[in-house]
Amino acid sequence: MKRHGAVKIFFLVLVLSICFVCHPGHSAAEQKVISLNYANFFPAPHKHSILADQWCKEVEKRTNGRIKITYFAGGTLSPAAQIYDNVVKGIADIGFSCFAYTRGKFPLTEVIDLPIGLKNGITATRLINEYYKKFKPKEIDEVKVMYLHAHGPGMLHTKKPVNKLEDLKGMKIRATGLAAKIVTALGAAPVGTTMPETYDALRTGVADGAMAPFEALQGFKWGEVVNSSTVAYGSGYSTGMFIVMNKNKWNLIPKEDQATIEKINEEWIERQGRLWDEIEKEGIEFTKKRGNKIIYLSGEEDARWAAAVRPMLDEYRKSMKAKGLPGDDALKFCLDYLKANQK
């Protein structure tokens, strides 16, 4: 009798153990943790860096800890110009940087960096994501795109006032990607440095000025080493930026968690775009408090700057045609989008 009872207890324990192991809430697949790293060039205190870190935490939260991401700010995992290639190689699993830092690698996507009349970050960010959805450029096929974004109009920040085109003659202006062509078209000499390198370039005289949105005056502390900013919407431009993941790492993530991450990405498009405009205002206030001058060009002078850079649009079309890429369509799409959506 005792033996019979012991056998019953044994089988009861066995059944309960099997149920515990096989229960959906405790499956091996669900409990497996995928660990990833994330490389960003923005300094840790910068609001874009903070938002990127929040993205990592949101992914971990909504996947119930199945995806854990270690975040590296300030270029500590990878220098800004190497982030994209390092994601492709798997040195970084996720990376955040600028397309312009690898000039020529993303020819069609350079359309976002042209002086096409962008006036704010939210519109620029929505535009670059709509462009990507429509054209799916093969040049970005090596990675899984999380989402893209772009800043509001890049302006000129200098160590001495620039009131007219002639004042730029002989000046060395920091610019990357197509912004370097804008600098040349305006009569100055471009200096190619990444954002983190520019403070020292301005401080030491390697550059006499730099082109970027106003947020850089606070976010990268340029306001400490320049004295003047020139607002020229006619030659204003943007810079396309990416958050991408290594494809092999993406494919390791279960479909359910992939869908969760895609949803977060859609939310972050809006948050990133609105943040650009928020910190743009902060950059303007920062430089004003330091006593730096902001010069607003007259309508006539602004038109001169616009005319100087306008040939870049035709040059883009011809260059894309020579490469067999739909540059005409991409540029028309962007201009039509701005006409319909930009306030």
> What is the predicted pLDDT for the residue at 16?
43
Note the maximum CA span of the chain.
Answer: 106
Residues 284 and 212 sit within 8 Å (Cβ to Cβ) = no
Residues 194 and 176 sit within 8 Å (Cβ to Cβ) = yes
**Which amino acid, 319?**
S
CA atoms of 220 and 151, how far apart (whole Å) = 14
Residues 156 and 233 sit within 8 Å (Cβ to Cβ) = no
CA atoms of 29 and 176, how far apart (whole Å) = 45
Residues 6+ apart with CB under 8 A from 59: 67, 69, 260, 261, 264
Residues 6+ apart with CB under 8 A from 266: 147
> What is the predicted pLDDT for the residue at 177?
85
> What is the predicted pLDDT for the residue at 31?
62
Other CB atoms within a 10 A radius of the CB of residue 64 amount to: 11
Other CB atoms within a 10 A radius of the CB of residue 85 amount to: 17
CA-wise closest residue to 129 among 110, 113, 148: 148
CA atoms of 183 and 189, how far apart (whole Å) = 6
| pLDDT tens digit at each of 343 positions of the chain | 444 554 444 444 444 444 444 444 444 444 689 999 999 999 999 999 999 999 999 999 999 999 999 999 999 999 999 999 999 999 999 999 999 998 789 999 999 999 998 999 999 999 999 999 999 999 999 999 999 999 999 999 999 999 999 999 999 999 988 899 999 999 999 999 989 999 999 999 999 999 999 999 999 999 999 999 999 999 999 999 999 999 999 999 999 999 999 999 999 999 999 999 999 999 999 999 999 999 999 999 999 999 999 999 999 999 999 999 999 999 999 999 999 998 7
CA atoms of 328 and 317, how far apart (whole Å) = 6
CA-wise closest residue to 241 among 193, 329, 314, 176: 176
Exposed/middle/buried for residue 43 (C-beta within 10 Å: 0-12, 13-18, 19+)? middle
Name the 3-class secondary structure at 306. Answer: helix
> What is the predicted pLDDT for the residue at 40?
98
The 3-state secondary structure of 32-79 reads CCEEEEEEECCCCCCHHHHHHHHHHHHHHHHCCCCEEEEEECCCCCCC
Residue keyed to tokens 């300094």? 43
- Alpha-carbon distances of 173 from 52, 170, 298, 312, rounded to whole Å: 29, 10, 22, 18
Indicate the DSSP class of residue 193. Answer: -
| Domains of the chain with bracketed CATH | 35-103+121-151+239-279 (3.40.190.170), 155-238+283-341 (3.40.190.170)
